[in-house]
């Protein structure tokens, strides 16, 4: 079968298509014929990091089960499934052990025609989704779900701030609307403002023309501040998020895209009684909760562009350009 | 001004229109020119209970503020407001003291042209609502809100069971949909089935033709059971609700319409780890949360029929007939 | 090896010592040399229920691991462990599937010299506990823990009511004290009152001489009511528990010892906003949390009496007599 | 009556004893004859900040009620009470409005013989406490309570890290022990290590001789990390706290004593799924919960030293020296 590998080529990290033997599922495992994969920002960082051993990249994949190992009872051949980010985070709190099972980082990922995963390392996908759409869920979708639903417990009437048009932010916008919340979105692109409004954002702020977007959020909430900020910019935007959030509000800390150059003053975390909650993807149980919500509401993930199998490098380059709106996929 | 009184007339309880002096707000109080009131099942029971002193009936009213007492800062003349069920339940948990401030029961209610209420005993109403619509919120609306949102914390993808077409059940249906949940409704009337579907119920069960509606709920949830049952029938329907709810599920106990004739076996509360949660209206803080959700989503309460001021007895009779779908109002 | 079996002997259920081959652990399993077992009220009911196939009784056992199967990584030979009630409830909410793995009921139990259990069906026991003490934890200990800690989330200063001197109630008393809560205990035996006080109960009520013990609880709490009632009597005592608990209080529903003869009136569940929470033992994750608390605080379970292996019938008879204070064990 | 004032004296801020008329309580207010006050770190900062109008300093006071205004029903003359930090934070979440009622900062504080407070701006104090002991509760005590109990919801068996020997840290140590948790304390003073052990800390780390105290915490928790860190050092110690806390752990962010010089990297907030929770004193409702716990467990606050009324400047200087262990009081 064909697979991609990240490998060390005289000091430089290269992404190459290789031939690998088709794997077989052991006891408790399933073999998945991958049909689609999806990119995340972490894949960009991983694709540039020094490494000694080759690695099959990407954590997000969807396909159909083509074989199951001994003792597998919940999954059967023919099931349409997606991979879970942590192969060993089933339920309860995250553990250090789960980190040793992260796809496309700690262990081989999903950018291959056939991939062996644990029985509890896959979830069945909603019927109305294509494989490309389902492949967007394991990392970006679940991160947004954990932030707003599992931890944030947003309720109808809340105001949620999302930043930019990356995968997590678009999912957060969709899950917030699904929950009856109101969304204020920020973007640096005039062209994307209309698309955010079309998706249901009730207000969109261009942070380039309105750098003090936190003041705008306060105004839009009658001075009270937002209930929840989905913070994907990290320390760079965190000071503004802290000004934009209400007393006792919730900030989901997800990304560090904006860098960490500014000195961090925790003062108004204290005086406003803010909850700053680190969010790192999620468990299989959360994934199944999310899929149930997606299925029952017919929600469709936003796929910006799908590349062919041999265009993986172009897909990563498109991600790096930052011009996307939603998710980027690769067909297998 | 004109007002209604429930009074003891030679042993029988009568509902009569009387003249009362227009009241004045003391410090911390506001005077409301009531424009609409709404009926609840409890008003039917109160209207038949023996009493020594006259009582202005009804707890649910909406109107505009026509005067404010000394020290009133949050509410001003002209504000459109609704009454709160407990005049003294602002925030935090319910207390015994709050019971001494229940409108239309412990103290005079709202079926009068002018009513004095505490500043923290009113809430501003959403702009898009008529006074009739706003008058449905204080008891039925807030009960459904506390059940599903404050205590139940339902999330998108959950399955909620509502019973019949009374005010609480219709609000529960609406709030569940607003939160991305799926609704299974029961009714004993073939004619009402379509109306429940039109409101968004994804399944409607006629409990007369399908008395084992709990089995239907299990089937509709793939054997798992519902996440939340809004139980307004009490001990009469509780055994079926306990069979229809999932392991670890939630039953909001709200009403005892179905009577309490059946012996209660708590066995499967235990073995299924069910949470049976008593729900009694709610606090001012919950009311404001609810209004925010209603305003931002443009939700409209379902008013079945509005009676004129002098038709209060007819309105109560219509409620008793059980033929309504949603709320019954009186214009003042 | 020697084991007990419950078997159908011409229509009567008999408890007999039999010889069985020593079992071997398969992949993912461990073999435990049982050293002690403990009785629960459910074992009494199971010992009288009609059955077709023989069953090794009891769910609560402790011993040392004598062999491990393939793929076992967390448990090693020599570990001191206890069994978990549900072999397959690791974390998250209870499921119907977990019921098919209840020891001494759905599958063979622990009253045997050697028992094969799943790797995730055992937990390591605190060092300071004897095997007899550790054997009391899986059912009674964990039930009390889930009730007060996992679900009840009691906090320092709360008032907890416990009923009688059975295993769950004594554990509830101990865990409540460990959490800084105050305990009011009820008992029908004058002789046991001092023992309950000696364990730390700040008030003990004899429900035979004070049948209206709920009034006593209200008095002891300044009229407010208890924060948490650990209800092991079921429908028979539930009406009093509902009067004894505070507004917004918590009743853990655990047992139905008191029978279910009284008609159940849910009225004050509603008006007091009470949470009636079914509690059914607990998950492996909760067990490990409990063991950590027991270890760090040096808590010792209360073992009333330990029987020898060939005295199992006498042990069950002692349990049925109701004269015990805490747990009854069998040495293996 | 005599009172202290912070006043602008030709550019310098001076603390002076002045004569003021004895105040009278208006409607909804109570007059308290203050008997003791207590210092917090914020008072040190306030005593140096530029100001135009005079201000009576300090927020923490205890005394007896000597008069009540009209409409006061819960408090009566002779009651022993303490002040609340926010005069207007009764229950529910903190609001911007509450900030305009902070004693000794937004409005006049308690360092005066007679002080008028709102009825809901005082709480009755536990009987076993002296006025000095009770005066330590409003800010430091309640901050520790909110951190560990209201928000942190620690449970028996948890490991809590406290830093140094200031008021909040010592209260946190005491409340953690009261809840059955284990405490690891840090200090920079060899002499204070024994006192921390004597109070019940199961481990004490000298951060001067062991600057990598986070590694020590990991070792003491078997590599898992602490469940809760009471972070009073701010950005200066936060990076170590983030390494010392477990996956999914809780950090109460309370103080910024350690300064904010280090660049803040939120990376492991994300990857460990940490909850960083800002804590700012607490509401009247929390205060009453805390007092109930203190009363029922006979807990005694740790008062390091009590100064006489005319020694307020010396008391502040002692606080600034950092040599204290627990709280510093002033007798009135």
Residue C196 tokens, joined: 């309950």
What is the spatial distance between Cα C292 and Cα C284, in angstroms, rounded to a whole number? 12
Question: What average pLDDT does range D161-171 have in this prediction?
Answer: 96
Q: Which residue has the higher pLDDT, A52 or A83?
A: A83
Residue in chain D lying closest to A239 (CA): D264
- Please state, in angstroms and as integers, the Cα–Cα distance from residue C314 to each residue in A262, C329, D132, following that order: 73, 11, 60
Question: What average pLDDT does range D196-212 have in this prediction?
Answer: 97
What is the spatial distance between Cα D115 and Cα D66, in angstroms, rounded to a whole number? 10
How confident is the prediction for chain A on average, in pLDDT?
Answer: 94
Q: How many CA atoms lie within 13 A of D112 on its CB side?
A: 27
- Give percent above pLDDT 70 in chain A: 96
Question: What average pLDDT does range A55-60 have in this prediction?
Answer: 97
Helix (H) / strand (E) containing A16: strand A12-19
Phi, psi (rounded to 5 degrees) for C64: -115, 150
Per-residue confidence band for D54, with pLDDT thresholds at 50, 70 and 90? very high
Enumerate chain C positions whose Cβ falls within 8 A of a Cβ in B.
93-96, 99, 223, 234-235, 238, 247-248, 253-256, 260-261, 263-280
- Partner-chain residue, chosen from A156, A290, A293, that has the shortest CB–CB distance to B293: A156
Question: What average pLDDT does range A41-67 have in this prediction?
Answer: 94
Distance of residue D93 Cα from the nearest chain B Cα, in angstroms? 9
Question: What average pLDDT does range B69-98 have in this prediction?
Answer: 94
Per-residue confidence band for A257, with pLDDT thresholds at 50, 70 and 90? low
Enumerate chain B positions whose Cβ falls within 8 A of a Cβ in D.
27, 71, 90-92, 285
Q: Tell me if B54 sits within 8 A of B7, measured CB to CB.
A: yes
Q: For residue A8, what pLDDT is reported? A: 87
Distance of residue D306 Cα from the nearest chain B Cα, in angstroms? 36
How confident is the prediction for chain B on average, in pLDDT?
Answer: 94
DSSP state of B102: B
> Which residues of chain C make contact with A91, given a CB cutoff of 8 A?
90-92
- Partner-chain residue, chosen from B99, B260, B271, that has the shortest CB–CB distance to C266: B260
What is the tens place of the pLDDT at every residue in D6-41?
998 887 889 999 999 999 999 999 999 999 999 999
Q: How many residues does chain A have?
A: 332
Residue C13 tokens, joined: 């259920």
Q: For residue B10, what pLDDT is reported? A: 82
Residue D234 has pLDDT above 70, yes or no: no
- Helix C167-178 × helix C284-297 angle, to 10°: 60
Distance of residue C225 Cα from the nearest chain D Cα, in angstroms? 14
What is the tens place of the pLDDT at every residue in A133-190?
999 999 999 999 999 999 999 999 999 999 999 999 999 999 999 999 999 999 999 9
How confident is the prediction for chain D on average, in pLDDT?
Answer: 94
Residue C36 tokens, joined: 């002690």
CA A100 to chain centre: 19
Least Cα distance to A40 among A15, A58, A62 occurs for A58
Q: For residue C174, what pLDDT is reported? A: 98
DSSP state of C205: E
Residue labelled with tokens 């003359």: D77
Residue in chain B lying closest to C263 (CA): B263
**Three-state DSSP state, C189:** coil
Q: What is the pTM of this model?
A: 0.96
The reply to whether residue C179 touches residue D156, judged by beta carbons under 8 angstroms, is: yes
What's chain C's Rg over C-alpha atoms? Answer: 20
- List chains touching D (3+ CB pairs under 8 A): A, B, C
Please give, one letter per residue, the 3-state secondary structure of D266-283: CHHHHHCCCEEEECCCCC
Residue A107 has pLDDT above 60, yes or no: yes
DSSP state of D11: T
The reply to whether residue D277 touches residue A276, judged by beta carbons under 8 angstroms, is: yes
What is the tens place of the pLDDT at every residue in B84-139?
999 999 998 898 899 999 999 999 999 999 999 999 999 999 999 999 999 999 99
The reply to whether residue A293 touches residue B156, judged by beta carbons under 8 angstroms, is: yes
The reply to whether residue A296 touches residue B182, judged by beta carbons under 8 angstroms, is: yes
Beta strand B2-9 with A80-83 is unpaired
What is the tens place of the pLDDT at every residue in A69-85?
998 999 999 999 999 99
The reply to whether residue B266 touches residue C260, judged by beta carbons under 8 angstroms, is: yes
Residue in chain C lying closest to A284 (CA): C92
- Give percent above pLDDT 90 in chain B: 87
- Helix A284-297 × helix A167-178 angle, to 10°: 60
What is the spatial distance between Cα A131 and Cα A110, in angstroms, rounded to a whole number? 13
- Partner-chain residue, chosen from C223, C254, C264, that has the shortest CB–CB distance to B270: C254
What is the spatial distance between Cα D266 and Cα D278, in angstroms, rounded to a whole number? 15
Q: Tell me if A178 sits within 8 A of A297, measured CB to CB.
A: yes
Q: How many residues does chain C have?
A: 332
Q: Tell me if C205 sits within 8 A of C193, measured CB to CB.
A: no
| ipTM, two decimals | 0.95
Question: What average pLDDT does range B236-257 have in this prediction?
Answer: 90
Q: Which residues of chain C have pLDDT under 70?
A: 234-235, 257-264
Phi, psi (rounded to 5 degrees) for D161: -100, 125
Distance of residue D217 Cα from the nearest chain C Cα, in angstroms? 16
Residue in chain B lying closest to D97 (CA): B74
Residue in chain B lying closest to D74 (CA): B97
Residue in chain D lying closest to B71 (CA): D27
Residue D140 tokens, joined: 């430091």
- Give percent above pLDDT 70 in chain C: 96
- Partner-chain residue, chosen from C95, C235, C248, that has the shortest CB–CB distance to B247: C95
């Amino acid at each position: 079968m064909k697979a991609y590998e990240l490998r060390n080529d005289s000091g430089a990290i290269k992404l190459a298509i290789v031939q690998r033997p088709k794997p077989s599922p052991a006891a408790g495992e399933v073999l998945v014929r991958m049909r689609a994969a999806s990119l995340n920002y972490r894949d960009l960082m991983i694709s540039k990091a020094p490494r000694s051993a080759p690695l099959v990249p990407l954590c997000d994949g969807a396909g159909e089960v083509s074989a199951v190992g001994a003792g597998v009872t919940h999954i059967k051949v023919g099931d349409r499934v997606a991979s879970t980010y942590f192969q060993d985070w089933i339920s309860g709190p995250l553990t250090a052990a789960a980190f040793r099972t992260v796809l496309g980082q700690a262990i081989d990922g999903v950018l291959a025609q056939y991939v062996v995963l644990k029985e509890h390392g896959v979830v069945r996908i909603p019927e109305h989704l294509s494989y490309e759409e389902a492949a967007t869920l394991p990392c970006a979708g679940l991160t947004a779900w954990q932030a707003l639903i599992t931890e944030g417990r947003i309720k109808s009437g809340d105001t949620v701030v999302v930043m930019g048009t990356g995968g997590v932010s678009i999912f957060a916008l969709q899950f917030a609307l699904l929950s009856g919340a109101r969304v204020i979105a920020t973007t640096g692109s005039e062209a994307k403002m209309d698309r955010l409004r079309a998706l249901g954002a009730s207000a969109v702020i261009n942070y380039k023309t309105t750098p003090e977007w936190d003041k705008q959020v306060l105004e839009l909430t009658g001075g009270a501040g937002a209930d929840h900020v989905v913070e994907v910019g990290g320390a760079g935007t965190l000071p503004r998020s802290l000004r934009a959030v209400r007393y006792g509000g919730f900030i989901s800390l997800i990304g560090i895209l904006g860098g960490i150059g500014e000195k961090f003053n925790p003062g108004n975390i204290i005086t406003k009684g803010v909850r700053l909650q680190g969010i790192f993807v999620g468990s299989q149980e959360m994934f199944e909760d999310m899929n149930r919500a997606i299925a029952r509401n017919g929600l469709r993930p936003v796929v910006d562009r799908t590349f062919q199998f041999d265009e993986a490098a172009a897909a990563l380059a498109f991600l790096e350009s930052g011009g996307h709106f939603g998710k980027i996929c690769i067909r297998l």
